[in-house]
Amino acid sequence: MAVQTRAQLQTKSATVQNETAPNANTAARVGGLFDDFADSVTINGERGYATMYINSPTGFETDNGNAILLETPMTQGEYAGTIFSVSDFTMTYTGATSASVRVAVLLSFSGINNREYIFYIAKNGNVISQSACQNTTQGTHAHSAFSEAFMKADPNDIFSVYVFANTSSSMTVESLTFSAFTI
């Protein structure tokens, strides 16, 4: 069976409900309807979220003209459900089926004056271009950035934060919260 829209499921349900002739609702027909329901809904056990954060400011070296993984060790924060696992700086979707997710990062950072930084959400090491949050530093004080992406997650997809800098330089991640939610 396959994922169905709500309208398709309601049409099938009405057909089964209105069939009154003997043997009209066969086990295959009714069972197929329930199978479509199971393929099409998110079960509460498949819902969840996970958050990670850094405990203290962390230095980081950018790479001239390349987007690289923000390898800033993070601590597991709040979570619900069992469909995300976390490591030092990544989150993995561990659900049994594909799901729609929202992945976001909120951070403050400081770096060299007049440097361009672009923060991205990445899926399996590939930056999601529409998640780009560009920030050019004006001074060496802390700057803020927020990035999010809505996408489909397949089992074992890995989410992370990447940073691009137009020159190699040192930066400090002052605070960071990284989160993923099923929607």
Task: Tell me, yes or no, whether 16 lies in a domain.
Answer: yes
Mean pLDDT of 97-125: 93
Domain membership of residue 152 (yes or no) is yes
Do 24 and 73 have their domain in common? no
Which ranges constitute the DSSP H helices of 57-158?
A: none
Q: Do 67 and 28 sit in the same domain of this protein?
A: no
- Cβ burial 148-172 (10 Å sphere, 16+ → b, else e): ebebebeeebebbbbbbbeeebebe
Domain holding 115: CATH number? 2.60.120.40
The answer to whether residues 67 and 34 belong to one domain is no
pLDDT value, residue 152 = 95
Q: Is residue 121 part of a domain?
A: yes
The reply to whether 1 falls in a domain is no
68 and 16 co-located in one domain: no
Same-domain pairing of 111 and 152: yes
For residue 87, the enclosing domain spans 45-182
Write the pLDDT tens digit of every residue in 42-98.
665 567 889 999 989 999 899 888 999 999 889 999 887 778 999 989 999 998 888
Kindly state the greatest CA–CA separation across the chain. Answer: 79
Q: How many domains does the chain have?
A: 2
What is the pTM (predicted TM-score) of this model?
0.77
